[in-house]
Chains A and B, each alone.
Chain A
Amino acid sequence: MDFLTSVLTITIRAGTSLTIATIGEILTERSGILNLGVEGIMLMGALSAFATVFYTHSIALGFLVAIGIGGLLALLHAFLTTTMRANQVVSGLSITLFGTGFSSFLGQRLGPASNNFRLVGLRAERIAPLAPDWAEKIPILGAFLNQDIMTYAVYLLIPIAWFFLYKTRPGLWLRSVGEDPQTADAMGIDVIKTRYFYTIIGGMLIALGGAHLSLSYTPGWSENITGGRGWIVIALVIFSMWNPARAVWGALLFGGINAVQFRLQASGTSIPASFLNMLPYAGTIIVLVVMTWWEALSKRVGAPAALGTSYMREDK
């Protein structure tokens, strides 16, 4: 494998969980709900998927359980922010705080007695690359082929999500709920139901992103396995200007930063590891500043107008 292809392979692998979670969060935010619980949901997705596969040896079941858990946590967020009209920022933060604590608790409790009830350090089946051996020998294209089924699913998900959002009627309804819920309501769209639905769908995709981490990218469970990826996802949503088609660029950029980090560390650079590890976080801040500045300059507003506000007919 040549250098470029190998870097690209790692980049795409690292970008898979980011892209799938970013598309989930885009759908949620398009309905006007800001979900800052991504980090917590990804952690619970990673944990539940790994634990399920460890005991049942079925990767499909692992995915299903992760999707279920992600949907439940997102349902809680939807309930608090739409029905109970709680502050969306604080509700999302609580989901993240709870998910971080609960995944760490379960990781020390769900394991087999032989491992002192811990899940850390155990191995389970992992998602294997789909492509045949000869595929990885093709320059560049091989990097795209030599991936697991989740990455292939992401290749499909990106155009589907884009088409759905911009070319279908339910996609138009979704966007109108996020832009102007009063008008959407007057048009006969059920604002509350729409917000519930896409928050839950978003949570399911976010949890799948987490499952990809523990089943493929860094197989196994370790506390805080996400390492802030959930927060990077929220930055990627801004970076993509709430368009699923652009989500892939941000994810590849951050996947690329990860790949460069690996490469530099492997090559024995004199830059201390701590500084290399800062790259994704510093990169997020820089990207965020540049994007915000560029959006202001070009007078383009990507964010749904009603993002973060609760909707209530009686409040008019």
Chain B
Amino acid sequence: MKLLFEKRKASSVPALILVPFVSFLVSLVLTALLLEIFGANPFKTFAAMAVGAFGSSHGFAETLVKAIPLMMTGLGVAIAFRLRFWNIGAEGQLTMGGVAAAGVALFMERFLPGRSLLVGALLGGLLAGALWAGVPALLKTSLKVDETLVTLMMNYIAILYSEFLYYGPWRDPKGYGFPGSRMFSADAWLPRIMGRAHIGIWIAVALAIILWIVLKRTRWGFELQVIGASQRAARYQGIAVERNIVLAVMLSGALCGLAGAFEVTGISHRLQQGLSIGYGYTAIIVAWMSQLNPLAVPFVAIALAALAVGGDQVQMVMGLPAAMGVVMQGLILFPMLAGSLFTEYRLSVVRPESKASCPDPVEE
């Protein structure tokens, strides 16, 4: 008897839905083992995490605060990944978005009266993210330069540039050496709905729905799907592959840039240290767990945000490192990757007696 993987004709829908859930459970079990090793009670720890993330209106608001940038960057990464463009530069695009939004909010007050300052700041962030992603996209389509490395290196450059600004020319002269710019005028603040959570959550959810419609129901979405499946096939159909990749990757960067603009106008109200805390990397987990489907992104983003907030809580209550949440996030991807085999392949059992009646060329 022998086990064989047969390629399915179409992806299995139950597997598409089951795999993320099972992966989440597996990561819970692995984390529990880890907690046991380090002498912490897993059930108490998980309970503390859940209470921290959802148990109070403050906790839930903080979960949303972290979920908003994860939704935006998760959507951005998902679009790029659908094209097999491995954009791991969401972190840098988010940072540049925050920098540009802060630039508008700090220095354009005179030209943008009233609430138009906020709109200007958000547009600035969007544009900066798109341009920052446009560079690796152009390098990829014109010179075939590896995009994973360029997008990643540009993260470091963006973060160092933002550091230069808030330690240097943009530093608040009345800030007593605090690494940050002065506070924006209230016109540039994004309205809040609950605790620190702001209306960005509604914009993010709306964008997820719009993107799903664009990808599934429009001609452009269809073209992107063909490019993602096979660039050669797309060329035969007369689709402008290079132009579409650049446009889609710039859209990906725009979403990440907007995430950064939300962070500075909605949360910190200034450019300061801590704008870039790894959302752009967690976004990769969000996108992959969502199976690159925009509609799934908000749910996964909230789940991963809860792990992060719960991780902070565990640090305060049980003295465990906050990195616990990050470890759990990382552990989810492994079962997820292993499980995706079952969406594309079917496991079949080949019995020796079947060999005679139905010769299998693969049998050894």
Give me the interface of A with B, judged by CB distance under 8 Å: 36, 76, 79-80, 84-87, 89-91, 93-94, 97-102, 104-105, 108-109, 228, 231, 234-235, 238, 272, 274-275, 277-278, 281-282, 284-285, 288-289, 292-293, 296, 312-315
Contact = CB atoms under 8 A, between A and B. Distances in A.
Report whether over half of chain A's contact residues are helix, strand or loop; otherwise say mixed.
helix
B337 A281 contact: no
B146 to A, nearest CB: 6
Given A89-B148, A101-B323, A274 B161 contact: yes
B144 interface: yes
Interface residues of B, number: 49
A94 B334 CA distance: 7
A277 B160 CA distance: 7
B152 A109 contact: no
Interface of B: 4-7, 38, 86, 88, 139, 143-146, 148-150, 152-154, 156-157, 160-161, 163-164, 167-168, 281-282, 284-285, 288, 320-321, 323-324, 326-327, 329-331, 333-334, 337-338, 340-341, 344-345, 362
A293 B330 contact: no
A282 B326 contact: no
Nearest to A289: B145
A108 B327 CA distance: 13
A68 B30 CA distance: 20
B152 A104 contact: no
Given A228-B156, A272-B168, A292-B146, A314 B330 contact: no
Contacts of B345: 85
Given A90-B284, A97-B281, A105-B324, A84 B143 contact: no
A289 B139 contact: yes
Nearest to B326: A101
Contact of A284 (B153, B321, B341): B153
Contacts of B281: 97, 100
A98 B149 contact: no
B153 A314 contact: no
Contact of A278 (B149, B157, B285, B333): B157
A87 B149 contact: no
Given A289-B143, A314-B4, A93 B153 contact: no
Nearest to A314: B362
A43 to B, nearest CB: 12
B326 A281 contact: no
A235 B149 contact: yes
Nearest to B328: A101
A80 B288 CA distance: 15
Contacts of B320: 109
Contacts of A97: 281-282, 284-285, 326, 329-330, 333
B354 to A, nearest CB: 16
7 contacts: A79-B338, A80-B334, A85-B344, A85-B345, A87-B340, A231-B149, A282-B153
Contacts of B148: 36, 89, 234
Given A274-B161, A314-B6, A102 B327 contact: yes
Contacts of B146: 238, 288, 292
Contact of A89 (B86, B145, B327, B334): B86
A258 to B, nearest CB: 14
B327 A94 contact: no
